[in-house]
């Protein structure tokens, strides 16, 4: 399958700081990337959808000013958690798809465990 690289895998930060997470498609052009959030022992909840070169579409209840998403190229999307607080601690996972390379299949990165102190 296609390879999606995400880093960092783990980050610990102080409350009030900002954290950037990168998601790269290594062997295909990702026309669409998705960002999910997962709490312990729970399912994946979609946060936002981003298409290369356009603004991200956020799910209801997700603060766009808190979770800044940039998809400036066909191989890179970033999620910045601004002014992080302990309640933002979670596992963040990106995924990507791109025609025709992935045939609309969705491949996931390895996830980023964010811990806000």
Under the binding rule (CB under 8 A), the answer on residue 62 touching another protein is: no
3-class DSSP assignment, residue 104: coil
Where are any strands of DSSP class E within 8-43?
A: 10-13, 19-25, 32-38
Which residues inside 18-47 make contact with another protein, applying CB under 8 A?
32, 34, 41-44, 46
- Of 64 and 105, nearer to another protein (C-beta) is 105
User: Beta strands of 74-111 (E only): which ranges?
Assistant: 76-81, 90-97, 107-108
- Per CB under 8 A, residues contacting another protein are 1, 4, 6, 32, 34, 41-44, 46, 49, 93, 95, 97, 104-111, 113
């Amino acid at each position: 399958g296609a390879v999606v690289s995400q880093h960092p895998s783990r980050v610990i930060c102080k409350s009030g700081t900002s954290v950037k997470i990168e998601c790269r498609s290594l062997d295909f052009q990702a026309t669409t990337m998705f960002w999910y959030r997962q709490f312990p022992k729970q399912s994946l909840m979609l946060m936002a959808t981003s298409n290369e070169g356009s603004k991200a579409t956020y799910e209801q209840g997700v603060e766009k000013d808190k979770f800044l998403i940039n998809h400036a190229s066909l191989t890179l999307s970033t999620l910045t958690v601004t002014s992080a607080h302990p309640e933002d601690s979670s596992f963040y996972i990106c995924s990507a798809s791109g025609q025709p390379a992935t045939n609309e299949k969705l491949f996931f990165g390895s996830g980023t465990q964010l811990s806000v102190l």
